[in-house]
């Protein structure tokens, strides 16, 4: 892998926390993600299932993790099954896990080749009362996506119809909400790489460059520092493109007098960062651009102070909307009459700020988490307000990542330039 080895104690601890949540005689099975096909004989790079990585640290296809804490045979209480390598596989595909390397990476003592799984699983099913299987229950998950987990669920229920099947997803969601110290260190590493990419493009952006050239500069810096790549499809939108929330074409020319919005961050060791900055193409904000920028920055900082233990995200979003509403009044984009006459279900500010302000972040950029549960220490959130004025071809969003603390939040991107004056200085130096 590109990243430095992760202390397996992280995964050992994660499995121990899961075991404490299981009722007696429970069997847990998790599958790795598929290698997705392209065309002809090609495949994409593996994007590992976040849950199996969280519990094992194994980044390889055709891997199965089995936990059965009450198994009569001690050797069956924690097992990893992975694809057997060979000289031919090594020639065509490169290095794969040996049993020894899988054991060292995961901290799972009992490692088997994948072809041993069916027989051992059959035995375990005769001993288990409850079977926990994994599915993607993220509220925004795509429907009807075929995965190894779903195929395994269908086949297992067909073969063993009388077992008590239970959902693993709620347990994993609860576990992954709170980030341990090792996880925070990996998120910090992703943030540090993202900072290097952002500082690089500040010296590169100028009138006439294309958006994809800016993307390429960031990609270069991320990859040379050991990142997996971008944490998500990067957004580099100049001028009116900054008002398109999911703009990913990144093909237009950055023109003099425009701003360019960059929502593009790095992923490291499967852990993500999420950064947005909006900078002037020519290195100097116009008076109007600066007014909008400062309004968004004030909102970001106010929201970061408000996102504290005990707050519910739904209530937090309403308060964030009120902050933006106040800024829109100051910018002359709303009048008090617009607010007085607004539909409570469609507040006036949504014309200029139409997305959420924060989301959980971790192994997934939009990490699993209950939007109705109070915020707790140890959670990691983005804070990303924006103002988008389509009639002016002007959009601005700012975003940092925050670790929620007992006494104060920790800005994991505090060292990444965000003040307009500092950005202008860096863009006009050298």
pLDDT tens for the chain, 430 residues long, are 789 999 999 999 999 999 999 999 999 999 999 888 888 777 888 889 999 999 999 999 999 999 999 999 999 999 999 998 878 877 788 888 999 999 999 999 999 999 999 999 999 999 999 999 999 877 776 665 788 999 999 999 999 999 999 999 999 999 999 999 999 999 999 999 999 999 999 999 999 999 999 999 999 999 999 999 999 999 999 999 999 999 999 999 999 999 999 999 999 999 999 999 999 999 999 999 999 999 999 999 999 999 999 999 999 999 999 999 999 999 999 999 999 999 988 999 999 999 999 999 999 999 998 888 999 999 999 999 999 999 999 999 999 999 999 999 999 999 999 999 999 999 998 6
d(CA 191, CA 181): 15
Catalytic annotation, pick one of 97, 148, 188, 397: 397
pLDDT confidence of residue 357:
97
Catalytic annotation, pick one of 62, 399, 401, 424: 399
How many helices and strands, by DSSP H and E, does the chain display?
Answer: 13, 17
Catalytic annotation, pick one of 41, 340, 343, 391: 41
Q: Are 169 and 135 in contact (CB under 8 A)?
A: yes
The reply to whether 3 falls in a domain is: no
Question: Does residue 110 share a domain with residue 190?
Answer: no
Query: Coil, strand, or helix at residue 424?
Result: helix
pLDDT confidence of residue 430:
61
Residue 349 designated active-site? no
The reply to whether 308 falls in a domain is: yes
H helices within 178-286, ranges in order?
181-202, 211-224
Report the number of distinct structural domains present in the chain. Answer: 2
Residue 155 designated active-site? no
State the CATH number of the domain containing residue 65.
Answer: 3.40.350.10
Residue 166 designated active-site? no
Catalytic annotation, pick one of 293, 359, 367, 401: 359
The torsion angles phi and psi of 408, rounded to 5 degrees, stand at -160, 155
d(CA 125, CA 157): 11
Question: Does residue 205 share a domain with residue 148?
Answer: no
Please identify, among 157, 176, 195, the residue that sits at the C-terminal boundary of a domain.
176
d(CA 403, CA 361): 10
* Residue 22 half-sphere exposure toward CB, CA atoms < 13 A: 26
Residue 263 designated active-site? yes
* Residues facing residue 267 across a β-bridge: 229, 272
The token duo for 357 is 């302000």
d(CA 31, CA 13): 19
Q: Are 82 and 108 in contact (CB under 8 A)?
A: no
d(CA 136, CA 150): 9
Residue 355 designated active-site? yes
Question: Does residue 315 share a domain with residue 271?
Answer: yes
The reply to whether 1 falls in a domain is: no
Please identify, among 151, 176, 201, the residue that sits at the C-terminal boundary of a domain.
176
The reply to whether 346 falls in a domain is: yes
H helices within 307-369, ranges in order?
313-330, 336-340
Write out the residue range of the structural domain in which residue 111 sits.
Answer: 9-176
The reply to whether 4 falls in a domain is: no
pLDDT confidence of residue 144:
57
Residue 388 designated active-site? yes
Question: Does residue 102 share a domain with residue 203?
Answer: no
Catalytic annotation, pick one of 54, 222, 293, 388: 388
CA 112, 117, 123, 128 torsion: positive or negative?
positive
Residue 4 designated active-site? no
DSSP H or E segment with residue 172: helix 169-177
Q: Are 237 and 168 in contact (CB under 8 A)?
A: no
DSSP H or E segment with residue 242: none
Question: Does residue 132 share a domain with residue 162?
Answer: yes
The reply to whether 209 falls in a domain is: yes
Please identify, among 176, 203, 236, the residue that sits at the C-terminal boundary of a domain.
176
Q: Are 409 and 316 in contact (CB under 8 A)?
A: no
Question: Does residue 411 share a domain with residue 299?
Answer: yes
Catalytic annotation, pick one of 149, 258, 384, 424: 384
d(CA 11, CA 423): 40
Catalytic annotation, pick one of 51, 258, 263, 364: 263
The reply to whether 2 falls in a domain is: no
């Amino acid at each position: 892998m590109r990243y430095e080895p992760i202390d397996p104690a992280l995964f050992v601890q994660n499995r121990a926390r899961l075991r404490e949540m299981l009722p007696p005689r429970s069997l847990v099975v998790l599958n790795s993600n598929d290698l997705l096909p392209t065309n002809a004989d090609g495949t994409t790079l593996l994007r590992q299932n976040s849950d199996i990585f969280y519990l094992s640290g194994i980044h390889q296809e055709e891997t199965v993790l089995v936990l059965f804490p009450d198994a009569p045979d001690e050797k069956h209480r924690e097992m990893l099954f992975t694809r057997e390598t060979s000289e031919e596989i090594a020639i065509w595909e490169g290095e794969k896990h040996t049993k020894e390397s899988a054991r060292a990476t995961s901290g799972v003592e009992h490692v088997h080749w994948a072809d041993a799984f069916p027989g051992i699983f059959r035995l375990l099913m005769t001993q288990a009362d409850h079977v926990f299987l994994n599915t993607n229950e993220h509220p925004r998950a795509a429907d009807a996506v075929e995965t190894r987990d779903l195929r395994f669920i269908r086949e297992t229920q067909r073969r063993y119809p009388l077992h008590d099947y239970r959902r693993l997803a709620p347990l994993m969601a609860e576990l992954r909400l709170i980030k341990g110290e090792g996880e925070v260190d990996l998120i910090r590493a992703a943030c540090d790489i993202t900072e290097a990419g952002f500082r690089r493009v500040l010296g590169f952006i100028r009138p006439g460059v294309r958006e994809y050239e800016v993307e390429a500069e960031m990609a270069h810096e991320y990859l040379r520092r050991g990142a997996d790549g971008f944490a998500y499809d990067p957004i580099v939108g100049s001028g009116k493109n900054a008002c398109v929330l999911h703009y990913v074409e990144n093909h237009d020319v950055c023109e003099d007098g425009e701003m360019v919005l960059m929502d593009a961050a790095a992923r490291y060791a499967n852990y993500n960062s999420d950064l947005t900055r909006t900078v002037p193409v020519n290195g100097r904000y116009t008076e109007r651009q600066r007014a909008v920028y400062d309004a968004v920055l004030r909102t970001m900082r106010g929201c970061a102070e408000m996102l504290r233990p005990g707050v519910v995200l739904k209530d937090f979003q309403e308060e964030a909307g009120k902050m933006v509403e106040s800024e829109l009044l100051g910018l002359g984009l709303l009048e008090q009459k617009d607010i007085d006459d607004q539909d409570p279900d469609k507040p006036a500010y949504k014309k200029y700020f139409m997305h959420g302000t924060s989301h959980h972040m971790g192994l997934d950029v939009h990490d699993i988490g209950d939007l109705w549960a109070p915020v707790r220490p140890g959670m990691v959130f983005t804070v990303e307000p924006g103002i988008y004025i389509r009639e002016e071809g002007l959009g601005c969003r700012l975003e940092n990542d925050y670790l929620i603390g007992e006494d104060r939040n920790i800005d994991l991107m505090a060292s990444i330039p965000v003040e307009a004056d500092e950005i202008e200085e860096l863009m006009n130096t050298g």
